[in-house]
Amino acid sequence: MNILTDFPYLIPQEPDGFHYNGYISIKNKLFRLEVKLPSSGNLQDGQVNCDWKLRQVLGNFSSILKQRLQQCDTLHSFLKELQSVAERQLEKETGFEESSSQLCRQLITDIEDLGWEKLAYVDDDFQEIHLAYTDSDGRTHVLKLYINKQYPHEAPKYSVQLPVKFELHWSGARGLTPSYQHFVCAVQSYQEFWSLVGELDSNTWVLEPEKPAFSARHRRIAIDSSVSVQITVDPVNPRALPDCKFLGSDHAIAPLRQSMNNNISDWDENGSLLKNLEHLLDVKFPSPSTHSKEEFSAECGICYAYRLEDEIPDEVCNDARCHQPFHRACLVEWLRALPSSRQSFNTIFGSCPYCEKAMTVKLIAR
């Protein structure tokens, strides 16, 4: 067997057979190839050039083939070896394409069984799909699925916005429907929670989070320009008394603590979360209809910004005539830089950057 018989598309460019140019057939596909040998015919000094498609097929085998060019006895044996390597690589690519095509067909079938109206998004490669559910109050919830090559035999990774950790139930043989139904049941179980905190979002100035996600269990609510309360609501029992943390100067939050102690027995688990909180603290929360948010957006007295990354000022000078707010991180850095400040365990003692009255700030473990 010779080169012209096995590689009929490689045309000799000179009678001695040291230069070939043309194509090599691999799995019924033609790839451009040129081989140049020195006049001695020595393969060790030969050059092989191919088009970008064949280079892509050969991939990491290029360096190995260069080595084989120096080791093979004849150009014919080298070309057969190159052809064999390329065929194996193409077979792998074809297997991957067939596998990807099968995965897409399976996903399309599963989506059809579930209902196309529930599909909110799918990427071009069918590697990420979003399934949507609109609850009875018009809130749209999304189950994001990240599909792997083992689908449906292996559960996909997922992402949801729920206030309690969600474990996806997966039964590959039954497609997407059982997992979607499990997600819907979880969403329905938190309807009361979202309705109650939604009343707070609509009728108070929520300082944090700025745009509450469905997973957010806490709200920091403005009481006045220098005092706020952070509540953490139990999603499983949202009408129960929430955990309350006051932020402000000591003398400003003392009356709130006193009111809470006096009224805690009046908490009505059948009542509105908003009305219960107002009665508990003996306050009327400022609302978007009566106040602007700028009234409660005091800038940090050190960095002169309201938001520092995702944090807003949460430390306030205790002096009634000052009331200057600070970001905790800014205040810690400021106090640590003062020669007169001192630290005891997790508390730093120093003075207010504005009025120089005594201030303390507790460090939060990270």
Domain chopping of the chain, boundaries? 3-95, 116-188, 192-294, 298-362
Domain range 116-188, CATH class: alpha beta
Which residues contact residue 156 at a Cβ distance below 8 angstroms, ignoring those fewer than 6 apart? 145, 146, 147, 148, 170
Domain range 298-362, CATH class: alpha beta
- Alpha-carbon gap, residue 56 to 60, rounded angstroms: 9
- Alpha-carbon gap, residue 336 to 254, rounded angstroms: 28
Give the type of residue at 6: D
pLDDT score for 140: 97
The confidence band for 95, taking pLDDT boundaries of 50, 70 and 90, is: low
pLDDT score for 324: 83
User: Is residue 366 over pLDDT 70?
Assistant: no
Average pLDDT over residues 342-362: 86
pLDDT score for 138: 95
pLDDT score for 85: 85
Share of the chain above pLDDT 90, in %: 36
DSSP-derived letter for residue 241 is P
Q: pLDDT by residue (tens digit) across 217-267?
A: 999 898 887 788 989 999 999 999 999 988 877 777 889 999 999 999 999
Q: pLDDT by residue (tens digit) across 30-61?
A: 889 998 888 877 888 888 888 888 888 887 77
pLDDT score for 105: 80
Select the more confidently predicted residue: 139 or 18: 139
Rounded to the nearest 10 degrees, the angle between the axes of helix 273-281 and helix 250-263 is: 110
pLDDT score for 93: 64
The confidence band for 72, taking pLDDT boundaries of 50, 70 and 90, is: confident
Share of the chain above pLDDT 70, in %: 96
The confidence band for 342, taking pLDDT boundaries of 50, 70 and 90, is: confident
Average pLDDT over the chain reads 86
For residue 244, the SS3 value is strand
Average pLDDT over residues 302-307: 79
Instruction: Among 3.10.110.20, 3.40.50.10470, 3.40.640.10, 1.10.357.10, name the CATH number for the domain at 192-294.
Output: 3.10.110.20
Average pLDDT over residues 75-90: 85
The confidence band for 97, taking pLDDT boundaries of 50, 70 and 90, is: low
pLDDT score for 302: 82
Alpha carbon of 125 to those of 28, 70, 96, 105, 176: distances in Å? 27, 42, 13, 12, 18
pLDDT score for 365: 55
Best mean pLDDT range from 58-72, 168-182, 289-303: 168-182
Beta strands in the chain (DSSP E): 10-12, 19-26, 29-36, 47-50, 119-122, 128-134, 140-146, 157-159, 206-208, 218-224, 227-232, 243-247, 315-316, 325-326, 342-344, 347-351, 358-362
pLDDT score for 303: 85
Select the more confidently predicted residue: 180 or 172: 180
Let me know if the fold of 116-188 is the same as that of 298-362.
no
Are 358 and 349 within 8 A, CB to CB? yes
Best mean pLDDT range from 44-58, 166-180, 271-285: 271-285
**Count of C-beta atoms within a 10 Å radius of residue 83:** 18
The confidence band for 313, taking pLDDT boundaries of 50, 70 and 90, is: confident
pLDDT score for 217: 95
